[in-house]
Amino acid sequence: MPRPILATVHLDALRHNLHRCRAAAGDARVWAVVKANAYGHGIERVWPALRGADGFALLDLAEAERLRALGWRGPILLLEGCFEPRDLETCSRLDLWHVVHTEEQIDWLAAHKTHQPHHVFLKMNSGMNRLGFRPEAYRAAWARLQALPQVGEIGLMTHFSDADGLRHGREGVLHQVEAFVRATRDLPGERSLCNSAATLRHALRLRLGDGGGALAADWVRAGIALYGSAPDHPAHAAADWDLQPTMTLASRLIAIQPVAAGETVGYGSAFTAPRDLRVGIVACGYADGYPRHASLSQAPGAPVLVRGVRTHLVGRVSMDMLAVDLTPVEAAGGPCHLGDEVVLWGRSGSGAVLPVDEVAQAAGTIAYELLCAVAARVPFAVDEADTP
């Protein structure tokens, strides 16, 4: 039999989370962000559940090709735009929308030969300081694009650095909203401001400074919320936003070791048993994408579900295995056995849920990293069951 580890993608949860984002976005249309192979879930796997979005947003031309091959004929937006001039030919061929965030990309458009004008989104650097034109340069960049016959519609876009909460005692998006509104006043074009955090936290509550409609504007960019993670964890859990886990990483017990008080477990003898324990050995390690630091960042180690009962890691995560304390599991339901279900994150067969955010927090990282890091050697399955 194959090694007992499996990642399962839950289409019902993806549909639910898309509906949740759409409800939060009001009248705005929703980009389903599927960059990084749909946050590690697989574009082809999430496609049946997310095809109800108004558009897809991603980074790579190859991923755009895959979406078109699946039959998607609606908008696809390249969030970082083109990386070299010849990418514009692919944009023309696949009818891709693309972000413009630097003068060089405008130069490439000016030299590009096309019969079909390009639909672009001009990005403003309103405070994130990664990509985009600063507010004082934004209108000049818009004027350059507007003068080009190679360019058709021009959308207006920015990205929030602190939509997940407060920074320096102020609401995390207000200063960027104000900068965006000042620089884009009276400019035509569809607007896109909100990521997952802004959509859930602010889109229906805040208003643009000029009184012009909801912060959600014309498009929101739903990313991590689609995949069942709270974008502002730990301030809120996924359940607080009514989001459901879209990926379960599960394995099984492959050994059970009695460990006497004072004995150690794993490499470096990092864990010493405080009392007599039974320790379960699980077929999952850092070569599967499970974070090694999940057992080092706090005591006890990261949470795990065994037979649907919450317990925790003991000792260091190794390449192919990790160890868990079976005490609470056996107290709840009797002795464990080889083959018992272990959920590293997601849904257990009993219906218990272990949010990926909690595992990420224990490892000193974020859910994005865990979902994207599931290794190629881990097999995937797709669960098409209805939402329980």
Task: Enumerate the active-site residues.
Answer: 35, 267
Separation CA 324–CA 265 (nearest Å):
10
Six-digit token pair at 147? 């003068």
Cα–Cα distance for residue pair 85/105, rounded to 1 Å:
8
278 among annotated binding-site residues: no
Distance CA 24, CA 201 (A): 9
- The CA–CA distances, whole Å, from 296 to 277, 361, 363 equal 20, 12, 7
The letter for the amino acid at 22 is R
Query: Are 76 and 33 within 8 A, CB to CB?
Result: no
> What is the residue whose two structure tokens read 């030299």?
111
Q: What proportions of the chain, in percent to the nearest 5, are helix, strand and coil? A: 30, 25, 45
Of 126, 188, 121, which is closest to residue 163 (Cα–Cα)? 126
In 3-state terms, what secondary structure has residue 375? coil
Q: Are 50 and 32 in contact (CB under 8 A)?
A: yes
How distant, in Å, are the alpha carbons of 177, 180, 193, 212, 215 from that of 207?
9, 13, 12, 7, 5
Instruction: List the structure tokens of 127.
Output: 């405070």
Hey, which residues does 304 pair with through a beta bridge?
311
C-alpha to C-alpha distance for 382 and 45, rounded to whole angstroms: 7
Nearest to 73 by CA among 92, 56, 50, 90: 56
Residue 321 annotated as part of some ligand binding site: no
DSSP label at residue 147: T
Burial of 53 (0-12, 13-18, 19+ CB in 10 A): buried
Residue 288 near residue 378, CB atoms below 8 Å: yes
Residue stretches of the annotated binding site: 130, 319
Going by the annotation, the residues of the binding site for substrate are 130, 319
